[in-house]
Amino acid sequence: MKTVEDYIRTIPDFPHEGIMFRDVTTLFADPRGFRIAIDQLLHPYAGMQIDKVVGLEARGFILGGAIAHQLSKGFVPIRKKGKLPARTIEQAYTLEYGEAIVEIHDDALQPGERVLIVDDLLATGGTAEAGIKLCEKLGAQVVGCAFIIDLPDLGGRAKLEGMNMDVHALCAYAGE
């Protein structure tokens, strides 16, 4: 039986020499692999009250939409600054070389709603941390953060767990 990891393509030296890029588009393209990933991302949260699924730009939209559909819940995107049309709140976060800003509509979540944050990859945790902060600014409670891939050596899991977040990843690639 194939695992999620079996569907992920590795591309050496992309986008820079020495980087082993983990390409989830091959996972998304395979109906069985995609189904396995969605089911496994949901599994730890089965029976838990979740009001909305929040997806982080951009591959988190693909995963989050599928998970929200499976749960019969709404989906909320967190996008790069300037991409959402209505009033937003924003959160800056640190990148390897600089800073970026993500936004959420200021009416996307209601106080007390329980949300699951979803993305494809957990590296340094900056985007996920910013997403958590945005949800909390709107009064929502983040019940967990689910990822396909964890790169544990980059510290993202430790950062999120340090924020008392439940972190779930389907596979990990150490040493990257």
Catalytically annotated residue among 17, 87, 96, 99: 96
- pLDDT tens, position by position, 116-166: 999 999 999 999 999 999 999 999 999 999 999 999 999 999 999 999 999
- pLDDT tens, position by position, 64-105: 999 999 999 999 999 999 999 999 999 999 977 789 999 999
59 carries an active-site annotation:
yes
For residue 2, is it within any domain?
Answer: no
96 carries an active-site annotation:
yes
Q: How confident is the model at residue 175 (pLDDT cuts 50, 70, 90)?
A: confident
Global pTM reads 0.96
For residue 36, is it within any domain?
Answer: no
Q: What's at 142, amino acid-wise?
A: V
Catalytically annotated residue among 22, 59, 79, 114: 59
The residue whose two tokens read 């964890």 is 150
- Identify the sign of the CA torsion 139, 167, 3, 24: positive
- pLDDT tens, position by position, 1-35: 899 999 999 999 999 999 999 999 999 999 999 99
For residue 9, is it within any domain?
Answer: no
- CATH number, domain of 81, equals 3.40.50.2020
Residue 135 in 3-state DSSP?
A: helix
